[in-house]
Amino acid sequence: MKKTADTWSINEAKNIYGISRWGNGYFDIGDSGDIHVIPRHDQPNLKINLAEVVEDIASAGIQFPAVVRFHDILRSQVELLNTTFRQTIAEANYQGQYFGVFPVKVNQMREVIEEIVDAGSSFNYGLEAGSKPELIAALAYNTNKDSLTILNGYKDEEYLRLALLGLKIERNIIIVIEKFSELTTLIALSKELGIKPVIGIRVKMMVKGRGKWEHSSGERAKFGLSMTEILNAISLLKAEDLIDCVKLLHFHIGSQLTDIRAIKEAVQEASLIYCQLIKQAVPLEYVDVGGGLAVDYDGSQSTNDSSCNYNLAEYVADIVYGFGQNCQLAGVPQPHLVSESGRAITAHHSCVITKVIGEIRPGNTDYATEPAQGEHIIVTNIRALADELAAPNKGTNLQEIFNDVEQLKSQAMQAFNLGILSLDELAKVETLYWRILNHIETQLQQSDYIPEELNAISALLSSQYLANFSVFQSAADSWAIDQVLPVMPISRLNEKPTKLCSLVDITCDSDGKIDKFIGDDEVAAHLPLHSLNENQDYFISIFLTGAYQDVMGDMHNLFGRVNEVHIFSDDDDPKDFYIEEVVKGSSIENVLSTMQYTPAIMAQMVKKEIDKQIAAGNLKPREGVNLIDFYDNCLLSYTYLN
């Protein structure tokens, strides 16, 4: 983050935060230094200033942290996926059609599902469910009769009955067999109810996915039938006269596939299996390529775990042309194509906005360090280094001073532990140590070249910014799987950021932090941020949280769900947007109730104790009433800091 001159431009801000690389065209920085959201690629003049969104949220009395959802981005992504498939299919003269489905598990929020179903209606875009609760939701919300409802996940008899209920209300339900025993249960049920199901078969693929989820395929995968099981399933279905029910071949080799080669290999393998099965008179009509379409969270266009080395157009082309060519070669009909992209549809549409409420700075430098009679030589020596730095001469070598001060500090610690150094002397050493590091850093900022080892100084001097949120609730994958999510301030981007920071949250957990950021060429431990100004709020946003992060959060420290604000764009509005809905986050009462507490009884318990104090004369009755009112009000309040 070194800059020789003090000039700063918006372009540099764009560069260090990588906003155009991960933003997919939806985010930019305006001349005012605020982040702009451009929710529709076909309306580049429709720009929403994120700082104005934050102002509106605050003036509506909604507290932060808050999830902000841009419904138009959700719609844009649904349209983009569907039109890309349609265009590629047309270009390739492919005979089948595209019937995408959105996997509900990626973001189950009702408003999200409603928006996706609505945006996808003209494309016959459907839903995918992987559990009974998701199926229940899909049955109610996937109302388009021409779209598919794909059922994955392990299924018990009740799940299968629900699926057959769906067929009765004319839903295009395809039951994907993940495990052989599901087939026998399904056959029995279909006989009992006299309903012919539509069956899909999930194949356990040999090809390995790439990235964090690569164990979703291969022989040891949790889901899917091996080739032997598939052949046995076919014999069984032929014997039961149900082979005409088998319509779909399914595979899913993992989420966030970082390398396009995994996709090419999977398409190759699956298309050969498809052609073979067609030749064995299995009347397949669809091939479902599952999820895996990755999001370039760090903007590096690489095979990093949080990135990918391909774009949507390449992904779609590999699928359409791959199946097209292999089917043509084998002389079999080209199947309809289904995909289950979740991450790529929802990641961009939401972000978590939180306020930085404090700074934890290493090293205090205001302790008096004047020489004292008979002080220890370590103290004298370290002071001499500080003096030299304050008035440097030709021979002053920063690297040497750094090495010496590091050594003196560790000697001081040892001496203190042996009882040789007093607490006062140790405090002086510490103070001088930090003063020296700060000095070295200032001087380095003026030089053109920084020796490798001195890079450590910025890290040593970096601050922790305390932000009002919980990583476990709002950015679970950052904690769980080291996912890099873009984080940046929403304003002041026309100002040079002068601090290197990591972020800590308000949970009492030392894991409650974000220290993986987008770096120059690799993941960086620190993020450049601005120094905090008194009387000016400093908001930062965690972006691309719309897939999984929104719904996987946990209750660590009983910080519950955060407030949610739904933003719709509107060209006629002076600010180009309006807040359509606010979904209140958890109150303290809510989170306690989910842990089996009864807030009303708790209030009584506390009141009893207060009454005792009043009876004993330790509290005035009026004070007691105020205290119990306060406790009651707190129960109703937001779990995060005010």
For the CB of residue 45, give the shortest distance to ligand PLP in the complex, in Å: 31
Q: Name the DSSP letter for residue 497.
A: -
436 and 520 Cβ atoms separated by less than 8 Å: no
Nearer to ligand PLP, 76 or 369 (CB): 76
Among 204, 212, 252, 561, binds ligand PLP (CB under 6 A): 252
Alpha-carbon dihedral sign for residues 482, 484, 490, 495: positive
List, edge to edge, every strand of the sheet that includes 35-37. Answer: 27-29, 35-37, 48-49
Among 255, 354, 458, 545, binds ligand PLP (CB under 6 A): 255
Q: Which two tokens stand for residue 615?
A: 């009876």
Q: Which two tokens stand for residue 313?
A: 């157009």
Q: Of residues 142-201, which lie at the interface with ligand PLP (CB under 6 A)?
A: 152
Determine how β-strand 463-467 pairs with β-strand 199-202: unpaired
d(C-alpha 464, C-alpha 503), whole Å: 5
Nearer to ligand PLP, 252 or 499 (CB): 252
Among 103, 486, 497, 528, binds ligand PLP (CB under 6 A): 103
Sorted by sequence, the CB contacts under 8 Å of residue 362 that are 6+ apart come out as: 434, 460, 461, 462, 463
Q: Of residues 292-321, which lie at the interface with ligand PLP (CB under 6 A)?
A: 292-293
Nearer to ligand PLP, 23 or 546 (CB): 546
Shortest-Cβ-distance residue relative to ligand PLP:
291
Nearer to ligand PLP, 174 or 293 (CB): 293
Is 549 a binding residue for ligand PLP by CB under 6 A? The answer is: no
Distances (CA, A) of 274 to 249, 284, 324: 7, 8, 12
Nearer to ligand PLP, 18 or 342 (CB): 342
Among 96, 224, 342, 497, binds ligand PLP (CB under 6 A): 342
Q: How many CB atoms lie within 10 A of CB 534?
A: 4
Catalytic residue among 245, 275, 351, 508: 508
Nearer to ligand PLP, 201 or 565 (CB): 201
* ω into 486 cis (within 30 of 0): no
Q: Of residues 373-392, which lie at the interface with ligand PLP (CB under 6 A)?
A: none
Mapped to the 3 state alphabet, what secondary structure does 60-78 carry? CCCCCCEEEEEHHHHHHHH
Q: Which stretch binds ligand PLP (CB under 6 A): 110-118, 250-258, 473-481, 536-544?
A: 250-258
Q: Which two tokens stand for residue 229?
A: 């099981």
Altogether, the residues listed in the chain come to a count of: 642
For the CB of residue 180, give the shortest distance to ligand PLP in the complex, in Å: 18
Q: Letter for the amino acid at 347?
A: A
Q: Which stretch binds ligand PLP (CB under 6 A): 336-344, 509-517, 601-609, 622-630?
A: 336-344
For the CB of residue 257, give the shortest distance to ligand PLP in the complex, in Å: 8
For the CB of residue 265, give the shortest distance to ligand PLP in the complex, in Å: 17
For the CB of residue 100, give the shortest distance to ligand PLP in the complex, in Å: 11
Q: Which stretch binds ligand PLP (CB under 6 A): 55-63, 337-345, 350-358, 407-415?
A: 337-345
396 and 441 Cβ atoms separated by less than 8 Å: no
* Count of positions on this chain that bind ligand PLP (CB under 6 A): 16
Q: Which stretch binds ligand PLP (CB under 6 A): 14-22, 40-48, 320-328, 334-342?
A: 334-342
Q: Letter for the amino acid at 99?
A: F
For the CB of residue 443, give the shortest distance to ligand PLP in the complex, in Å: 48
Determine how β-strand 66-70 pairs with β-strand 350-360: antiparallel
Nearer to ligand PLP, 225 or 429 (CB): 225
Among 106, 112, 138, 592, binds ligand PLP (CB under 6 A): 106
Nearer to ligand PLP, 551 or 602 (CB): 551
30 and 49 Cβ atoms separated by less than 8 Å: yes
Is 343 a binding residue for ligand PLP by CB under 6 A? The answer is: yes
74 and 352 Cβ atoms separated by less than 8 Å: no
Determine how β-strand 577-583 pairs with β-strand 499-504: unpaired
Class of residue 565 by CB neighbours under 10 A (exposed 0-12, middle 13-18, buried 19+)? buried
Is 341 a binding residue for ligand PLP by CB under 6 A? The answer is: yes
Q: Which stretch binds ligand PLP (CB under 6 A): 57-65, 100-108, 488-496, 579-587?
A: 100-108
Q: Of residues 278-297, which lie at the interface with ligand PLP (CB under 6 A)?
A: 290-293
Q: Which stretch binds ligand PLP (CB under 6 A): 87-95, 107-115, 248-256, 429-437?
A: 248-256
- The question of whether 327 is a catalytic residue gets the answer no
Q: Of residues 452-511, which lie at the interface with ligand PLP (CB under 6 A)?
A: none
DSSP string of 175-214, one letter each residue? EEE-SHHHHHHHHHHHHHHT----EEEEB--SS---STTG
For the CB of residue 295, give the shortest distance to ligand PLP in the complex, in Å: 9
From the list 365, 522, 525, the residue with the least C-alpha distance to 441 is 365
Q: Which stretch binds ligand PLP (CB under 6 A): 11-19, 339-347, 510-518, 531-539?
A: 339-347
For the CB of residue 226, give the shortest distance to ligand PLP in the complex, in Å: 17
6 and 446 Cβ atoms separated by less than 8 Å: no
For the CB of residue 542, give the shortest distance to ligand PLP in the complex, in Å: 18
69 and 566 Cβ atoms separated by less than 8 Å: yes
DSSP string of 127-184, one letter each residue? EEE-SHHHHHHHHHH---TTSEEEE-S---HHHHHHHHHHHHTT-EEEEEE-SHHHHH
For the CB of residue 94, give the shortest distance to ligand PLP in the complex, in Å: 22
Which residues participate in catalysis according to the annotation? 508
Q: Which residues bind ligand PLP (CB under 6 A)?
A: 103, 105-106, 130, 152, 252, 255-256, 290-293, 340-343
